[in-house]
Amino acid sequence: MNPLFVHPSLSEERQNAKRLDTADPLARFRAEFFQGSGIYLDGNSLGLLSRKAEKAVERVLREWKELAIEGWLDAEQPWFFLAEKIGDMAAPLVGAKASELIASGTTTSNLHSLVSTLFPSDPKRSRIVSDSLNFSSDIYVLRDQLILRGLNPETELLRISSEDGYLIDEDRIMATLDETVALLVLSTVQYRSGQLFDIKAITEKAHAVGARVIWDASHSAGSVPHEFHEWGVDGAVFCGYKYLNGGPGSTGFLYIHEKHAALKPALSGWFGHRKDTQFQLNHDFAMAAGAGRFQISTPHVLSLIPLEASLALFAEADQHELRRKSLAMTELMMAMGDRYLAPHGLRIVTPRRADQRGGHVAFAGADAFALAQALRQQGIVPDFRPPNILRLAPTAFYNTYSDLVATISCILHILEDGDLERYQKPTDIP
């Protein structure tokens, strides 16, 4: 089946999608990305390569070839300051001051660094609050950090449970916060269902009882605009390879509010030292100003440079227009899902309200894994998350409304055909 196949039942939706695509103010950005011949709806796991990123990597390889070690200061964009520059470029996407954000490390290592630094010394505050649906790596961090303090994660890590396995009740988060809580650590968007938390309200509630707040924005940065500084968020982490299109294993980001400027990182490294005296290699750590002090090791230049190119595209686009299109695409997908897929047992578990929804739509169904495999066979790349979630993540930069009609058409055709048995066998990496 051609991935652009449109089911006869969706002819009206196809015409409407064509009109939306023609009027799309972001349409010009589509040509900036390499997309192949199919439809890519997995940008919330790995964003596509942009032409600018390809050229940027080629440039740095050339600089490495021609300048060798001199590239640290003599490259077109000196490598020595690259992490700070990319942090500056990403800051508007999360509402951070330039000094509050650094491109460094990975999401998990950055979370370790922030938790170990922001955990208060008050012995009355020994608990960390998170939730039962949070990403596994974040929970590993929280458990380890409690153990390192001689605390029992079985009693001191409070994970708010989900009644349906897809969503977390924000009121239950609020009710759990009290004077025994040291840190609240949540993801801005639930990676399975796409639920978007009220970051401002939850942060305010945590602060009202004296707790500090760290957000993992990996599933929202570049898709949902944030105002971390204005909301008083203490710390945040996010990756660079999803909506930011920084490439596989791309460098992560660490945000820390300027009100914590005096806090020394609990995990120090030589690249967090003041730039002007870093190469004196003094054993006394003189921390850099702002988030730059949280750098530990030498920056991974080849993992950083695609972000410079990708973030240049974000600077050209209006992030609020990106969000408007993202919401319009997920709304269209949900409307078609309700009409055509729900009768076949594929149920939407993503919140319907725009202010509670991230950038993807999650369909729950017994055949979710098989559907994901079948779609790949048809040239459409979705995502599967155990036990029964098919995730579709349209990206405002490079997906069209017509892509979505074609995808729902393909799913409907597969469900009507009913031949899913051959796709049911699990693989090690879905």
* pLDDT tens-digit readout, 287-310: 999 999 999 999 999 999 999 999
> Please, what are the domains in the chain?
8-26+318-423 (3.90.1150.10), 54-316 (3.40.640.10)
Given this model, what pLDDT does residue 111 score?
98
Question: Which whole number is the average pLDDT over 52-69?
Answer: 98
Question: Which whole number is the average pLDDT over 193-204?
Answer: 98
Enclosing H/E stretch for 370: helix 368-377
**Average pLDDT across the chain, whole number:** 96
The yes-or-no verdict on residue 107 having pLDDT over 90 is: yes
- List the one residue out of 90, 94, 93, 99 whose CA is nearest residue 228: 94
Q: What is the pTM of this model?
A: 0.96
Q: Using 50, 70 and 90 to split pLDDT, how confident is the model at 392? A: very high
- Say how many C-beta atoms besides its own lie within 10 A of residue 267's C-beta: 15
Given this model, what pLDDT does residue 36 score?
86
Given this model, what pLDDT does residue 306 score?
98
What residues act catalytically?
Answer: 135, 216, 241-242, 391
Residues 6 or more apart in contact with residue 141 via CB below 8 angstroms: 108, 111, 112, 115
Question: Which whole number is the average pLDDT over 323-337?
Answer: 98
* pLDDT tens-digit readout, 398-409: 999 999 999 999
Given this model, what pLDDT does residue 417 score?
86
Measuring CA to CA, how many Å separate 140 from each of 129, 132, 146, 192?
A: 13, 12, 10, 18
Given this model, what pLDDT does residue 423 score?
77
| Percent of all residues in the chain with a pLDDT value above 90, rounded to a whole number | 94
d(CA 99, CA 34) in angstroms, rounded, equals 33
The yes-or-no verdict on residue 113 having pLDDT over 50 is: yes
- The DSSP annotation for 293-342 comes to GG--S---HHHHHHHHHHHHHHHHS-HHHHHHHHHHHHHHHHHHIIIIIG
The yes-or-no verdict on residue 283 having pLDDT over 60 is: yes
What the block records as the tokens of 153 is 């994660």
| Percent of all residues in the chain with a pLDDT value above 70, rounded to a whole number | 98
For the chain, the straight-line distance linking the first and the last C-alpha, in angstroms and rounded, comes to 22
Task: Specify the DSSP class assigned to residue 161.
Answer: -
Given this model, what pLDDT does residue 430 score?
46
Question: Which whole number is the average pLDDT over 234-254?
Answer: 98
Given this model, what pLDDT does residue 425 score?
58
Sequence letter at residue 293: R
Question: Which whole number is the average pLDDT over 314-319?
Answer: 96
Residues 6 or more apart in contact with residue 427 via CB below 8 angstroms: none
The yes-or-no verdict on residue 429 having pLDDT over 80 is: no
Q: Using 50, 70 and 90 to split pLDDT, how confident is the model at 99? A: very high
The yes-or-no verdict on residue 426 having pLDDT over 80 is: no
Question: Which whole number is the average pLDDT over 253-274?
Answer: 97
Question: Which whole number is the average pLDDT over 39-55?
Answer: 98
Sequence letter at residue 155: T
Given this model, what pLDDT does residue 208 score?
98
Task: Specify the DSSP class assigned to residue 134.
Answer: S
The more confident residue out of 36 and 214 is: 214
Least confidently predicted of 1-5, 175-179, 281-285, 307-311: 1-5
The yes-or-no verdict on residue 186 having pLDDT over 50 is: yes
Are 247 and 110 in contact by the 8 Å Cβ rule? The answer is: no
Q: Using 50, 70 and 90 to split pLDDT, how confident is the model at 419? A: confident
The more confident residue out of 420 and 130 is: 130
The yes-or-no verdict on residue 427 having pLDDT over 60 is: no
Question: Which whole number is the average pLDDT over 147-154?
Answer: 97
Question: Which whole number is the average pLDDT over 51-66?
Answer: 98
